[in-house]
Amino acid sequence: MTTAHATDTPFAATPASAVAAPRRARPFDKTQAPTSALIRLIAGRELAPTRQEYDAAVAALQDGDPAMDTLVEWMYDYGPREARALFEQALAQGVEQVADCPEPLRRFFREVEAEPVWLDRTLLAEGARFIQGSGLTAAYVLRDLALMGGYLLSGFNQSLVLTGALNKGTARRVAETGKWWIDCTEEGGLAPGADGVRATLHVRLVHALVRRNLAGRPEWDSSEWGMPLCQIDMAATYLGFSVVMLGGLRKLGIPVTRRESRAVMHLWRYTCWLMGVQEKWLVDSEREGMVLLHHTIMTQSRPDWTSRELGQALAQEPLERSYSRWQSLRRKLDYHRHLSVSQYFLGSEKMAQLGLQGASSWYPLLTMPLRVLGYSLQRFVPGLRRLQQRRGRRAQQAALAAMFGDQTQGVIQPGKDHPAHL
């Protein structure tokens, strides 16, 4: 699918917000740098936003998740403990199993159970199989490029720092995100009532609770940062799991066909529809996603102290992993391997902005030839692709187990002192 320009883009139709733009957004004239010929060929257009696209993105800094935010307000009015129990019952058993179900709860679940007309479950399955087959390479891209590189965008960091979500208990938070990712990328993981759907709606509730808490705290400066966990930040996150992952896989030696790209984009489009990302920010193709990702980045501030704090906390996470044998050695190897991948993608200047220096790109460069050969052979040897899918998923699950250690695997479960506690 080619990418339209100007008012034909799906994310260009929102009018500018009447509220003053948060200061974290770059001025429009600073977003108009020309696009190189190569990137213009790949993206199908200039990356610079039109005025209408710019206004839409800036306005989305003030947008939350109306459906879930409204439900959370009802939960507080109804009685937080009782309402949370009803929500968890509806999540686990289906809303029809909730006796005398309150109408706000029933309405919310009926909305998310009504599948969008564009949903293609064949593509969901293909996307899941591709992601499983990418094995630990996908995990490296998501952790060492998408997450670590995302910390350079300081506007995105504020909610993470104020909740302590990733600079305190980093290993647990990264593991919980990994569990959600595994649930969503199982074959059938996004079927009605499946683990991926339940995990996504659970995380969506947590996001709304955090948004409500932070917006009412004096430390949160809405004139600077906009709304906590706003639409444009959620869109940027979803593009990290799709567009950034696909580009990173290619750069690490895994070829991606047009069909595979489409399937992965579709899987994350539906996942993030469930997460509460508005339709206008959900794109069909990798090309459209590249353009939208660029537009989300222009709403972000430059690296600051939060970039260093979060980057250093993430870098130390492998030193907390659990292994049954050779634990100390394997922790150190993981630590240096992940830094090497980040260095390869981000370069020395950005690594220094994250407070991380002295790494080299030894691991990606050493392993890339074998990866190119192995994944290319899958195109020609019958059965090899299915074998790699099984091996890749086992490797992903083993890495998740190492991050959780002896703790129970699960998505985020806020304690009583967490902003998302209800």
Residue 422 has pLDDT above 80, yes or no: no
The verdict on 125 and 231 lying in the same domain is: yes
The verdict on 242 and 96 lying in the same domain is: no
Sign of CA dihedral 262, 269, 180, 334: positive
Confidence of residue 295 (pLDDT cuts 50, 70, 90): very high
Give the per-residue pLDDT at 17: 42
The verdict on 225 and 243 lying in the same domain is: yes
The verdict on 107 and 213 lying in the same domain is: no
- Matching residue, tokens 């030839």: 369
The verdict on 6 and 89 lying in the same domain is: no
Report pLDDT digits (tens) over 382-416. 799 999 999 999 999 999 999 998 888 888 766 55
What tokens were used for 166?
């990733």
How many domains are there within the chain?
2
Q: Considering the domain boundaries, does residue 362 fall inside one?
A: no
Confidence of residue 99 (pLDDT cuts 50, 70, 90): very high
Residue 420: alpha-carbon gap to chain centroid: 19
Segment 92-106 shows an average pLDDT of 94
The verdict on 87 and 194 lying in the same domain is: no
Give the per-residue pLDDT at 14: 42
Segment 368-373 shows an average pLDDT of 95
Q: Considering the domain boundaries, does residue 351 fall inside one?
A: no
The verdict on 102 and 240 lying in the same domain is: no
Q: Considering the domain boundaries, does residue 341 fall inside one?
A: no
Tell me how crowded residue 52 is: count the other CB atoms within 10 A of its CB.
17
Dihedral angle over CA of 115, 244, 146, 172, nearest 10: 40
Contact 40, 290 (CB under 8 A): no
List the domain range (segments joined by +) for residue 70. Answer: 65-114
Q: Considering the domain boundaries, does residue 366 fall inside one?
A: no
The verdict on 255 and 386 lying in the same domain is: yes
Question: 341 Cβ partners below 8 Å, 6+ apart?
Answer: 140, 141, 144, 145, 361, 363, 364
Give the per-residue pLDDT at 7: 37
Q: Considering the domain boundaries, does residue 267 fall inside one?
A: yes
Residue 124 and residue 332: Cα distance in Å, rounded?
36
Residue 10 has pLDDT above 80, yes or no: no
Give the per-residue pLDDT at 145: 97
Does pTM surpass 0.85? yes
Average pLDDT over all residues of the chain:
91
The verdict on 179 and 239 lying in the same domain is: yes
What tokens were used for 254?
């895994």
Q: Considering the domain boundaries, does residue 293 fall inside one?
A: yes
Which of 114, 134, 153 terminates a domain? The answer is 114
Q: Considering the domain boundaries, does residue 322 fall inside one?
A: no
Residue 131 has pLDDT above 80, yes or no: yes
Report pLDDT digits (tens) over 147-198. 999 999 988 888 888 887 655 678 888 999 999 999 999 999 999 999 999 9
Q: Considering the domain boundaries, does residue 346 fall inside one?
A: no
The verdict on 82 and 206 lying in the same domain is: no
The verdict on 151 and 286 lying in the same domain is: yes
The verdict on 200 and 270 lying in the same domain is: yes
